[in-house]
Each structure stands twice: as structure tokens, then as C-alpha cells.
Chains A and B, each alone.
Chain A
Amino acid sequence: MAISTGSVSRPRRRAGIETTRARTAMWLLLPTVIVLALVAGYPLLRTIYLSFTDAPLNSNSGPTTFIGFDNYLFKGEDGTWTGLLVDPVWWTAVWNTVKFSVVSVVLETLLGLMFAMVINSKIKGRGLLRTAILVPWAIPTVVSAQMWAWMYQDNLGVISQWGRSLGLLEAGQSFLSKTDTALWALVAVDVWKTAPFMALLLLAGLQGIPADMYEAAEVDGASKLRQFFRLTLPLLTPALLVALVFRTLDALRVFDMPFVVKQYAQETMTMSIYARQNLIDFGTLGYGSAVSLLIFLIIMVFTVIYVTSLRVRFD
């Protein structure tokens, strides 16, 4: 009996401990969950709700009415389609964001890879180089935006001066003020700021490649170029993919730098800038929420593709 009760009660006690521990875990997690619900859960639900209303930012400007999908698309009395999905400014912003993201991420990756290979080589002074490339990363985004805005300044900016002496700009112009170069001028700022970050991520990947694999390749008489394409690149691919997707997510959300330099100018307007203009400056909380929600969905779709295709694991 005693033995049998013992054998019965032990699992029972273990189950009891499990329940207690689960309860303890709940208490430990509670503050985090509450805060996340407050800053992410509730605001997101509210954004979803508002996107189906015509709510103004200033609640005095009239009552809020539920208008279904009208913020996204609806047919006016005169038969024209109206709403976010047919707003040319929104599509300009989407197109700008896509161009900005693709070009800056590609350039950052190439440049970052070059930085990483240089730092990874066994030459003297690589510690110094590694320290130096951390500087652009350490500078706050807003500050680097202002620094570049100054270099791009129409008359006194040093880059405008170079542009003028190369015959690319006329007096009083800058790459930033010309509508057809403004977005690329901003890409240059983003590449400068983020290529070092890319380099650090890739450097970690490079250092994970065992040195004896290179020695073996040397033995086989493989050229440096061949070593790079046959050995380095395939082994670096996982790190490269993660860095690429990570950066693309950031680039798709970009707000600070283009906003500080060009505010609401349409030639450099990104999705986030368009959303803020509608939410705050135009005071159309409902329509702005519809924009925000669409951006959220775009990012989430991208994230899901990323998580499933790269098989990110938790345990």
C-alpha cells in the first residue's frame, strides 16, 4: 500500500509541481504581456477598428461613423472610384518605398560583404577598420540625416559643389532638390548608415567558416575568385539571407531619414510618411488608420514568408 501510494503520489506531486511552476511562469510573464497588450495589442485593434470609420483626429470635428471599406475603396455619386486603393499618391509612396528598399538593400549587402571580407582578412589594422565602420551605425538616424542634408545643401553643400564641378548640377540645385535624383540621394544616405551594420552581420558568418576549408581549397589549387564563389558564398548564404530579410523589413518601414530631409515631398514619400501625413497633418484618423493597417499587412505577409522559408526555430 505504502509503496503503491508512494508510486501514485509521486507523479501526482510532480504534476502538482508542474501546475505550480506553470502558475509561477504566468505571474512572471504577466507584466510583459500587459505592457505588450497596452502598446501593441490594443493600439492595433483600435487601428483596425478606426480604419473602418471616418474618425477625425480632433473629436470635435464631428461624430465618428462606421463606413465599412469606404476608406479603402468606394464608388462616388458621379461613378468615380475613390479611396486609398485608387489614390495615386499612395501608389507613388508604395513605389518609392519599393525602389528605396530594393536598391538600398542590394547596395548595402554588396558593400557590407566587401567591408566584411576586408575586415576578415588577416591584415594589420583590421581592428581599427572594424571600429571605424561602427561610427555611421552609432550616429542617430536623425543626426545622420541632418549631416547629409547639410552636405546636400543647395549652395553650400560639399556634395552639391562636387556635382556642380562635374557638370551634373546647375547653381542653386542639389541632388536632393532635383525631383529625379532625390530618392537616390536618400538611398546613398541609407547605404552609408547601414552597410556597416550589414558588414557586422556578415562578418559573424564569415568567421564561422572553418579556416581549414580554405587550406583544403588552396591545396586543390583553387583561385581566390573560385574560392569565393565555390566556398565562401555558399557557406555564407544563411547569414546573408537573414541579414537581407532583416534589412528589407527595416527598409519597408522607413520613416525617420527621408522625413527629416524631405518632409512630405512626394518624390521621396514612403508608405510610413504617407500614413503619418494622413493621420496627423490631415487629421483623418480613419483614413490614416486604413493606410497603417495596409502597411502592417504588407510587413506581416513579408514576415510570414521569411519565417516559413528560412524555417526560423524557437526551441
Chain B
Amino acid sequence: MAVSTVPVSTVPKRRSSALQTLGLGLFWVLIVVILLYVLFPFYWAIKTSLTSSADLPQTALSFFPPKPTLENYVTVFTTPSFLYSLRNSLVVAVGTVLISLVLASLSSYALGKFRFRGKTALMYIILGVSVFPQIAVLGGMYTTIQTLNLYNKPGGLVLSYMIFTLPFTVWVLTSFVREIPTELEEAALVDGATPLQTLFKVLLPVMMPALATTGLLAFINAWNEYLFALTYTSDDAARTVPVAIASFGGGSQHESPFALIMAASVVVTIPLIILVLVFQRNIVSGLTAGAVKG
């Protein structure tokens, strides 16, 4: 079979080599078009951020900044409310990641390695929570946050973000824990280790790649969240980056603040892009796991 295929498959290839070159050319055109489409808006933001606000009305449509300047970046980094928002976002995102990873490690160990009644029901509930529309709990959670005295505080946001980071993290980690050979755990138990010791000393080191992936995705989600941050904070000093950037345009300034908005946007996006590019393989595998599993 294999021998006979060689002539059959090579003949048409030779016949259409000119056509193929053309096809390859078209293919490259397609790639360039895709690249332009995907990258142009970000390029446009960078270009705008390098134009001074005063020049913007005249040069908004030129494809290169005629007089590149960093003045918008200087302004952004000397605006206290923006600096507050960077700090708040960092605190909230890191807090969200740490807490959801700790909680999810504990529960994924239980869900992945223990047998008990009601496990399937619990998995269904967690899956259900992961598709909760945030808006459905917006009003109810408002009361919770006020009662717990967390309005206008990072803690309130960390708590509310659990609704979307925790189910996802538990899901992905559980499917990972299930794949870890039971022998590892049994060996530790035989040595007299408590379940917590087994989890932290034996399982967690093996789980590192999954922890990194889910932690990264939780970080990105928490960093980008808007609706809760908009609703559960009202003070400049408590707001996060998305809220700060979205409300940049709301002022009654006479000149268009878009150059500033673009500078702020670039500032908060570059770290994310670097993060995503460095960890792209982890992220792709994490996303695929999350999507397929729920």
C-alpha cells in the first residue's frame, strides 16, 4: 500500500507546482491580513499614546506619531488616582489568586482522590456556579459586602471574585489531581502522613504546572474584572484599573483625553501581553481544559 501511494500522490503535486506557488503567495497575503487585523488596534493605541494631547486633534489620523512624546505616560504616572488603581488591582488580583489556589487545592484533593456521597452533586453545583451570570448576584452580594463591612475595600472585591475564579480553579485542579498516580498518595499515607501533609508535601509539587496555569488565568480574570469593581467601590482610592480606565473619559475636560486613556491602556496591557506570551503554552492548555470541562 505504502509503496503504491508514492507515485499517486506525487504526480498531481508536480503538475500543479505553479498553482501551488500562487496558492502559497495568497496564503501569505492572508497571513499578513490576519496580522494587520489582529494587531492594528493595539498599534493605533500605542501611536495615539505617543502623541501630545494638544497635537491630537491635528494628527489623530496620521499613521505615525509625527512628534513622539512621552508626556502622556508622565501624566499617567503622576496621576494619584491611576497609581492607586494600579496598586488596588495588584492587591486584588494577587489576593484572589492566592485564596482561590489554596481553597481549590484543598477541595480538588478531596474531589479527585476521596470517595464520598454527594460528590457528583457537588461537582454539578460547582459547574453551575461557573456559569452564573455575575448580574444575578450583583444585588444580593451588595448586601453581603455591606454587612461584612467590605464596601470600597479590596477584600470585598477578592471575596466577590471567588464566584468566577474558584469554580474554574477547582475544576481544572480536580481533573489534574485525578490523573496523579494513587501510589504516590498511598505511600505517603503508609508513612503516617496526615491528609494535609500528603497534599502539601506530595501532591502540590506534582501539581505545580496546573497551579501555575490556573493561577495565571485567575490573575488575568481578576485583573480585568469590571462589573463588580464598578459596583462595590465608589472611591478613587479604592477603584481598580478597569474602572479607572473606563471612567477616564467621564471628566469635563475641554481637550479630548484619549491620548491619556491610550497611555494608561498601554501601561496596563503590556505586562499582561508579556505574561501571556511567556506562558502561552500553559494558557492554551488551561483554556482548552476549562472549555472542554465546563
Contacts and interface: CB of A to CB of B under 8 A. Distances in A.
Given A40-B163, A219-B5, A255-B134, A21 B114 contact: yes
Nearest to B46: A147
A267 to B, nearest CB: 19
Contacts of A239: 292
Contact of A299 (B42, B110, B115, B131): B131
Chief secondary structure at chain A's binding surface: helix
B152 interface: no
A73 interface: no
Chief secondary structure at chain B's binding surface: helix
Interface in B76-113: 103-104, 106-107, 109-111
A180 B66 CA distance: 35
A289 to B, nearest CB: 5
B262 interface: yes
Contacts of A28: 106-107, 109-110, 114, 195, 199
B289 to A, nearest CB: 10
B125 to A, nearest CB: 8
A146 B269 CA distance: 12
A31 B103 contact: yes
A289 B138 CA distance: 9
A158 B44 contact: yes
B44 A146 contact: no
A215 B269 CA distance: 43
Contacts of A118: 27, 30-31, 34
Interface in B105-149: 106-107, 109-111, 114-117, 120, 122-129, 131-144
A132 interface: yes
A300 B132 CA distance: 8
A94 interface: no
Contacts of A292: 133, 135-139
B139 A150 contact: no
A285 interface: yes
Contact of B38 (A21, A46, A196): A196
Interface residues of A, number: 100
B242 to A, nearest CB: 4
B39 A132 contact: yes
Contact of B258 (A36, A47, A57, A153): A153
B291 A243 contact: yes
Interface size class of B (residues with CB under 8 A): 35 or more
A242 interface: yes
Contacts of A147: 41-42, 44-45, 262, 265
Contacts of A157: 60
Interface stretch (A79-87, A101-109, A273-281): A273-281
A104 to B, nearest CB: 15
Interface string B271-294: 011011100100110011001111
B209 interface: no
A148 B37 CA distance: 13
Nearest to B12: A221
A131 B280 contact: yes
Interface stretch (A1-9, A133-141, A170-178): A133-141
B74 interface: no
Contact of B287 (A197, A253, A255): A197
A291 B190 CA distance: 55
B246 interface: yes
21 contacts: A24-B110, A25-B111, A25-B114, A40-B163, A123-B24, A140-B245, A140-B272, A146-B246, A146-B265, A147-B262, A150-B45, A156-B57, A242-B292, A253-B134, A255-B135, A256-B242, A272-B227, A275-B138, A295-B135, A314-B120, A314-B127
Interface of A: 18, 21-22, 24-26, 28-29, 31-33, 35-36, 38-40, 42-47, 50, 57, 114-115, 118, 121, 123, 125, 129-151, 153, 156-158, 161, 192, 196-197, 200-201, 203-204, 215, 218-219, 221, 239, 242-243, 246, 249, 252-253, 255-256, 259-260, 271-272, 275-276, 279-280, 285, 288-289, 292-293, 295-296, 299-300, 303, 307, 312, 314-315
Top 3 nearest A-B pairs (CB, nearest first) are A43-B140, A46-B140, A156-B60
Given A29-B110, A129-B35, A276-B231, 20 more contacts: A22-B116, A24-B195, A26-B110, A28-B107, A29-B122, A32-B106, A36-B129, A36-B162, A39-B144, A39-B159, A57-B142, A115-B34, A130-B280, A132-B38, A140-B242, A150-B262, A156-B61, A239-B292, A253-B133, A314-B123
